[in-house]
Amino acid sequence: MAGPSVHGDFLRHAVLETVVPHNPNVDIEAALTSALEGGAGDLDSVLAAIPKRSLLFFDEAITVRVVLRLSNCSENALKAHLPRLELGVNALVYSPSGPGPEDPAPAKDVVFVGNVNNKEDPLVVVNVFEGDEGSGNHVYVIWKVDAFLHRPRIRIQHPCIAFSAAASLNAADTSDQSFHTDEYLPRTVPASANVLQALSSDPALKSTTPYLPASRLLRVIPAAQKEAPIYNLWQQSQHPIRIVPAASARIRCSKLNTFSSRPITIASLDLEVTPFLSCDVVFDKAEIILSDGQVENISGAPELQPPISLRPRDDVTLIYKLVPEYGPEAYFSTTALVSTLDISLEGVIKLTEDCQPRIFMQWRTNVDFSIPLNPTFGGPSQVMQRNNRPASLSMGSGQSGTSSTGAVNRSSYRERAHSFTQGGVTISFSGPVTVEIGKPFQWDVFIVNRSRAPRKFSMMAIPRRKRVDFRRHVARPSSSSVSSKKDKKDDELAEAVTDENIVHAMQKNAAGQDAELVSLSTDLRLGPLLPGTCHSTEIILLPLATGALHLEAVRLVDMNSNETIDIRDLPDIVALK
């Protein structure tokens, strides 16, 4: 059986489909062979023999099968074209009910985008059939794609997920000469006759041989265009699958009411199984890592040690003690002490014996270990209460305790973190202690919307510029303001608003300033942030000079109200060679 004449015809009658099997270890070859022997014709009937998932979960790692059916494809053509075939898969979460009257825009979000690994050999199933027009075959090529379904960035009512695949044939490879055709000068076709051939013997033309092809004088009839080859293929039909969250988790940090020089923070991790399930969920991993300190699990009950088995609507709380590694003198500094907390959770959903999906939840948050300057300042009494009461009072020079004006040795810290709260938002900046000149580094930015309305911000770094003091220039009387002696008193001119001598001095003293710190993140967009939500991003900076470097400010602009906030309390930057 002959293969396609050109490599673009390889996908001409191909059909692409995606399948999420109920059992990830199902024997696809046996299922397809059984369906083909039973008389299944189209691709949907063949794939109906594979049990499929009817419910998926957010934060789940699944295996998607991509099925490509080729028609009348030979073995040689399959080996020649498969290495140049590129396949991609994406997953879209949307609401099947469509947009409502209050929200005309459909709610949808892409939760996965991936490609098929061409280095792995796919599964190939060949079906030879006899028809009215002769014999032919269908070649089924199946790939595996590992996908992780993260949660959508927007809220969707009754969400469903649909997988879509696309294939493209890379025609850039010119190693195979069998597919090459020379359209300009085909083989075995004689060249056009020279109309000026009789003038070649004219002695006046000397060594110049005139040449005019006859095809230039004849009527050129364009040849019939062949059907264009197909290089791209998309999945025509989509099969939506219902998707729900299997479990939810959140962490809360609170400081103990202690007066020790090394305070302790208690973190409570809440795990809850949603009511959408009717089976158990076993959490076999619950791990918390503190960047600048130690974490101790103080949940002593054996039932609270992984693996933890939970039923639907069950809620369990794990308690951890966070002990930072900062020195005693750092807690009385005016700078906020913020560390990074990484939370990792893994669980297994016991749907059936042959289908046990696995979910992964991992996120990062910040913990503030700063303590009040005067921790003995207790709660307000019933006699006198007022709004906006400060959380602490500064200690005077006559009070005992560690002075807050002393220098703090921050060289032992792995990161320097600063926190800022204003305008209904809390922003934390954390960066390295020392940086290398000419090597970009980043500041981790963590913003929390503590207001009651959705917010959207724009953030930019403003470099520090040297201020030129023009007061060193002595102003002289302007020549334009000196009147002539011949003028009359009523014709005298007033002094100029801007002295031309000052303008000349400003232009003469103007010089280019060398940049010491350059921001590579020109404009950052944050949001939209719903009330109580957070967002994490980064600012990339490039040091160009050694020593202590500074930014003028980090400007935060509210995109809704155009309110501007300049943050000047930023981490220190020390650049070394």
Fold classification of 247-368 (topology level) = Immunoglobulin-like (2.60.40)
* Residue that the structure tokens 């076709």 belong to: 189
Q: Where in the chain are the domains?
A: 7-177+230-242, 247-368, 415-467+514-576
Distance in angstroms (rounded) separating the CA atoms of residues 554 and 523: 11
* Residue that the structure tokens 């825009």 belong to: 105
- By the 10 Å C-beta count (0-12 exposed, 13-18 middle, 19+ buried), 247 is classed as buried
| DSSP-derived 3-state class of residue 456 | strand
pLDDT attached to residue 407: 33
Distance in angstroms (rounded) separating the CA atoms of residues 81 and 70: 12
Closest CA to 535 of 456, 435, 480: 456
Q: Per-residue pLDDT for the chain (577 aa), expressed as one digit of tens each?
A: 444 435 557 787 889 999 999 998 889 889 888 888 887 778 888 888 899 999 999 999 999 999 999 888 888 888 888 888 889 999 999 988 765 545 556 688 899 999 988 788 899 988 887 765 656 888 999 999 999 999 998 888 889 999 999 988 876 444 444 444 555 666 676 777 888 888 887 887 777 788 888 877 776 666 555 555 667 888 888 889 999 999 999 999 888 755 555 667 889 999 999 998 889 999 999 999 998 888 998 887 888 888 899 999 999 999 999 888 866 555 555 566 788 899 999 999 999 999 999 999 999 988 887 765 555 454 444 444 445 444 444 433 333 333 333 333 333 334 556 677 777 888 888 888 888 888 899 888 888 888 888 888 888 888 877 655 545 545 455 454 444 444 444 556 666 566 677 777 777 666 555 678 888 887 788 878 888 888 888 889 888 888 888 888 888 888 888 888 888 888 888 888 8
Strand 134-149 and strand 108-115: pairing? unpaired
Distance in angstroms (rounded) separating the CA atoms of residues 530 and 526: 11
Distance in angstroms (rounded) separating the CA atoms of residues 276 and 247: 9
* Total Cβ atoms within 10 A of residue 67: 24
Distance in angstroms (rounded) separating the CA atoms of residues 31 and 47: 8
Using the 8-state DSSP alphabet, how is residue 182 labeled?
-
CATH number of 415-467+514-576: 2.60.40.10
Distance in angstroms (rounded) separating the CA atoms of residues 553 and 461: 6
Distance in angstroms (rounded) separating the CA atoms of residues 521 and 538: 8
* Total Cβ atoms within 10 A of residue 165: 23
pTM: 0.57
Decide if 556 contacts 567 (C-beta within 8 A): yes
* Dihedral, 39, 42, 44, 48 alpha carbons, nearest 10: 10
Distance in angstroms (rounded) separating the CA atoms of residues 214 and 192: 6
Structure tokens at 361: 């939840």
Q: What amino acid is encoded at 477 in this protein?
A: P
| DSSP-derived 3-state class of residue 317 | strand
Which string of DSSP letters, residue by residue, matches 330-364? GGGSSS--EEEEEEEEEEEE-S-SS---EEEEEEE
Rounded to 5 degrees, what angle do the CA atoms 422, 428, 430 make? 150
Closest CA to 369 of 261, 256, 265: 265
Structure tokens at 91: 């997953």
Structure tokens at 324: 């930072």
Distance in angstroms (rounded) separating the CA atoms of residues 99 and 106: 5
Decide if 117 contacts 144 (C-beta within 8 A): no
106 DSSP β-pair partners? none
CA-to-CA dists, residue 344 to 265, 286, 356, 533, angstroms: 19, 6, 20, 19
Closest CA to 527 of 448, 460, 461, 451: 448
| DSSP-derived 3-state class of residue 111 | strand
Structure tokens at 204: 């006046």
The answer to whether domain 247-368 and domain 415-467+514-576 are alike in fold is yes
Rounded to 5 degrees, what angle do the CA atoms 539, 545, 546 make? 105
Q: What amino acid is encoded at 473 in this protein?
A: H
* CA 282 from centroid of its chain's CA atoms: 30
